[in-house]
Structure 1
Amino acid sequence: MKKRTTVIDLINVTSISNSAIFNIGDTQQTNQKFRGIAIQEESAYSTPPKEEDFADYPIFQREANFMMNEVSVNKEHSHHAPTIRVGQISVIGVSSSSIMQAGNLNSINAEARLKHFRKLKG
């Protein structure tokens, strides 16, 4: 596929976190990985604080089950202009192994794993 130049007049991004990328320009390949443990407690004093460890949860040890590219698609592109022109982009948030890309991206491999649980009284 023929590459094109992207022209953006204004980009407003409010928040970027947790292994996320905001990229302006061309990228050949990107690999993002995010692992997180989120604990919601009913009361701040319900249990004594404890450090959590990724090894305690099997979700972080399992092999990822990525989709296989088994279907071949023939396609043809007809670009009428050498540039992609955008007036304004507004993004609230980019998070958890995701990417906000302004430009060409050849290959992406992204993985996010989050163990979320609640600790209730009693």
Structure 2
Amino acid sequence: MLSRMSQVDHLTINSVSSSSLCQIGDSTQMVLKTRALAVKREFPFFYGREGNFDDYDVFNEPIPQPIIEAVNIQVNNLAPIIKVNRINIKGCSFSSVIHIGSTCTLDAESRIKHIRQLEGDTPKTPDVGLEKQLDNLSNDLQE
């Protein structure tokens, strides 16, 4: 862990939501994940338990991982404290973090599929992956 102290005299946060975090102090690991289907309909009509994350590629694609390279750096912290007078935050949402302190590992992921269903639009099948499309086509041909 890093050995610097963080001091904030005044912190104001209006809203923290949707798998977000406000962490004051040091932490070893933070894992923040959000999955959401956002359906906008011209008329608010809901069918109950609708929507399956597995039907949409955006929820199944692998997350690209950063390239890790060895970097030689030398840090000389002249002051053992990071001092801030005031922080004003309007909002923090969808797998984000407000963190005052040190952390080793942060894993944050937010996946949202926006769907608009307006009057006159023809219904479309979800953006299922090629493999699922081929399976569906094969099943249709067998019937």
Q: Deviations over 1:48-98 (max 9, x none)?
A: 4232221221221222222222x3221111211111111000111111111
Q: Which moved more, 1:49-58 or 1:73-82?
A: 49-58
Query: Structure 1's 117 and 107: CA in aligned 2 closer, same or farther, altered over 3 A?
Result: same
The list of structure 1 runs, each at least 4 consecutive aligned residues, that deviate by more than 3 angstroms after superposition, is none
Q: Secondary structure, in 3 states, of the residue corresponding to 1:59?
A: helix
Number of equivalences: 118
Specify every segment of 5 or more residues in structure 1 that has no aligned partner in the other structure, as ranges. Answer: none
Structure 1 counterpart of 2:60: 61
| Ranges in structure 2 where 5+ consecutive residues have no aligned partner | 121-143
Q: Report which of the two structures shows the higher radius of gyration computed on alpha carbons.
A: 2
Cα RMSD, aligned residues only: 1.5
SS class of match (1:40): strand
What secondary structure does 2:91 align onto?
strand
Out of 65, 70, 73, the position equivalent to 1:72 is 70
Aligned to 1:115: 113
Counterpart check, 1:49 vs 2:43:
no
| Structure 2 counterpart SS, 1:55 | helix
Indicate the percent of aligned positions where both proteins have the same amino acid. 33
Secondary structure at 1:118 match in 2: strand
